[in-house]
Structure 1
Amino acid sequence: MLWLHIIQYSGFFMAQVTNALLVYLIWTKAEKLFGTYRHVMCTFALYSLVYAWIEVLTQPVMHIKGPIFIVIMDSPLKYQKWIGNDLTCLYCGSFALVISLLAAQFFYRYVAMCRSNFLQNIEGIKLTFIFIPCLVCFVLWFEFVYWGMSNTVEKQLYMREEIEAYYNEDSTKVSFIAPMYWSVGTNGEKIWKFWEIMSSVECVCIIAVCFSTILFCASNIYFTMKSASGHMSRKTLELNRQLFITLTFQTILPFVMMYSPVGLLIVLPLFEVYVGSIANFVGASLAVYPSLEPLIAMFCIKEFRKTVTCPSLRKVTPATVSYTTSSRAV
């Protein structure tokens, strides 16, 4: 647990630095480059800052035993059940905002590239409309976790020895959320818990819908760029290419570090695969993720990369160019 918490705190501090830097780059360098799209980018970066705070306030510990996977709060608030269970649900709900905000970015680029005649419908204050589905996904995920994976006495008793043996915690006192897919009756038969299974299924469906939206928009953007390569200016085409690559890698990263591991946590208890405390590798991955996401934009977008890697060169270059032009004019 010491190493897990070191990773969680390190990920938190790194996320504050990298996301704050990205916000600065967006507001100082992206206005002329991206126009209104910079607001969408900035929203995602700001949310990554918030996500890091939620993660460090929760400091989740994860464990799988039999038909249950459990997310235990291990922060100083873990014994404050009036807020602990809700904060753990908020942590789980934050996964929905990450993927839905990525889908919103792809949707904006899709409209800008493939349906430019509709772009005016999401400009100015109307831009907030594309974030409404993101909030809906977040609220739904939070509710599925809150009602379908709630902290119950049955789960406390089932995990009591396991949690005490591995983490030296009392399951009746610590805050947690956990779906339990079935219980065992007096005759040894499985009693399936329909609502808890459906809560997990609905969370997976939210991920599937968002990824489907991303794939639809990404494929259309790619083919539009390919067909319009002869009609766009070289500068415009290059800028769109950079944004497309950035969004692509920003989608691959959470798929590898967040949604694939979380998907395994949801599925493995159905097959009674005993994972135990190894599930905390998922918690470590989730803690590091928000600090890495901004680095993709910083190094895939040329203007950001130049500012981060060689600011002194950027100050010298204009003077050199001016001097050379004047000399040739003479």
Structure 2
Amino acid sequence: MQTYYLLPFIHVLQYISFILSQLTNGFLIFQILTKTEKIIGSYKYLMLSFAICSSLYGWIDVLVQPLMHVKGPIYVVFMTSFLKTAPFIGKILVSTVVRLHSLSLLATQFLYRYFVLCRQSLLKYFENLKLLLIFIPGVISTFIWFQLAFWFACCTEEKAELLRNDLKSFYSENSSTIPLSGIMLFSKDSETGEKIWMGYDLTAAIGCGVIVVDHNFF
């Protein structure tokens, strides 16, 4: 099936999603800044950070207009926006968009709620500017995830060759030039058919998996 006929429709949905995300997050930010009561305390700033990051993520998403594709042992996210002709910028944006920022911020919010409900004696360590301390785990995990996506899950000649026919026939894209980030678990020896496990990609997969499990723990 030639999926590229559906791309204009998909892009329209992405633009609608972007507009709605900006309107809803903008309204939420306005409500937080003007309507919240003092009794909410520092939680106000957690909600504000979540809304601002959601709005920024909407911008990144519409600049990337990402699509996902799976073929055998490889899973990729690639760019379809007008910026796909700028390889370096595209690589940075794709590596950013695959980082689910909400994962870190949700974990941070649940951690703060845990302190409110079960460890109120610890709240004094997160008052005023000290609240920034609670964001440290999320910032560290986001940094690590980005590095894994940028350096370890980057496009290689082997990935490009494996995806060449699919991306060309389904999306009318060139796998050698389009910015993408993906994990290829293994390749096969052309002579023996033996699986060759991809160390860098496995490192990225395991690292991202550990981050997800860690956040689910919180």
TM-score by length of 2: 0.93
Q: 1:62-73 maps to which residues of 2 (within 5 A)?
A: 62-73=68-79
Structure 1 runs of 4+ aligned residues shifted over 2 Å read none
Structure 2 contact 185–197 (Cα < 8 Å) conserved: yes
2:167 aligned with 1:158: no
Partner of 1:241: none
Alignment of 1:167 with 2:171, yes or no, is: yes
How far is the alpha carbon of 1:160 from its aligned partner?
0.7
- The structure carrying a bigger helix percent of its residues is 1
Q: 63, 81, 106: which one pairs with 2:110?
A: 106
Residue of structure 1 in register with 2:20 after alignment: 14
Counterpart position of 1:183:
187
Match of 2:25, SS?
A: helix
Give 1:3 shift.
2.1
Deviates more, 1:25-34 or 1:43-52: 25-34
Considering only CA atoms, is the larger Rg found in Structure 1 or Structure 2?
1
Question: Which one of the candidate residues 81, 86, 91 is aligned to 2:92?
Answer: 86
Distance 1:53 1:30 in 2: 26
Matched, 1:61 2:67: yes
Question: Match for residue 214 of structure 2?
Answer: 209
Shift of 1:128: 0.4
Q: Is the 8 A contact 2:77 2:98 kept in 1?
A: no
In the alignment, the residues of structure 2 paired with residue 177 and residue 190 of structure 1 have an alpha-carbon distance, to the nearest angstrom, of 22
Whether the aligned pair in 2 keeps the contact of 1:8 and 1:59 (CA below 8 Å) is: yes
Q: Distance in 2 between matches of 1:151 and 1:31?
A: 49
- The residue type paired with residue 125 of structure 2 is N
Whether 2:44 is the aligned partner of 1:47: answer no
Give the letter aligned to residue 82 of structure 1.
Answer: F
The worse-fitting range, judged by mean Cα deviation, of 10-19 and 64-73 is 64-73
Structure 2 counterpart SS, 1:165: helix
Instruction: Point out which structure has higher relative CO (alpha carbons under 8 A, 6+ apart).
Output: 1
- C-alpha separation in 2, matches of 1:167 and 1:154: 19
Confirm or deny: 8 A CA contact 1:100 1:210 kept in the other structure: yes
Give deviations 1:148-204, integer Å, cap 9, x for gaps: 211111111111111100011111121111111111113221111122123112212
Specify the SS of the correspondent of 2:174: coil
Please state which structure has a larger fraction of its residues in strand: 2
Residues in 1 aligned to 2:43 and 2:175: alpha-carbon distance in whole angstroms: 46
Separation (CA, whole Å) in 2 of partners of 1:151 and 1:107: 36
Counterpart of 1:4 (choices 10, 17, 41) is 10
- The CA distance in 2 between the partners of 1:68 and 1:166, in whole Å, is 16
Range 109-118 or range 140-149, more displaced:
109-118
How far off is 1:33 after superposition? 3.8
**2:153 pairs with 1:149:** yes
Question: 2:17 and 2:192 mapped to 1: Cα distance?
Answer: 47
Displacement of 1:26 in angstroms is 0.9
CA distance in 2, matches of 1:2, 1:76: 13
Displacement of 1:36 = 1.6
Q: What is the CA deviation profile of residues 292-326 of structure 1, one whole-angstrom value per residue up to 9, with x for unaligned ones? A: xxxxxxxxxxxxxxxxxxxxxxxxxxxxxxxxxxx
- The residue that corresponds to 2:136 in the other structure is 132
Contact 1:85–1:151 (CA<8 Å) still a contact in 2?
no
1:116 match: 120
The letter of the residue matching 2:139 is L
For 2:121 and 2:179, how far apart are their aligned partners in 1? 50
- Count how many residue pairs are aligned between Structure 1 and Structure 2: 211
Supply the AA of the counterpart residue of 2:215.
C
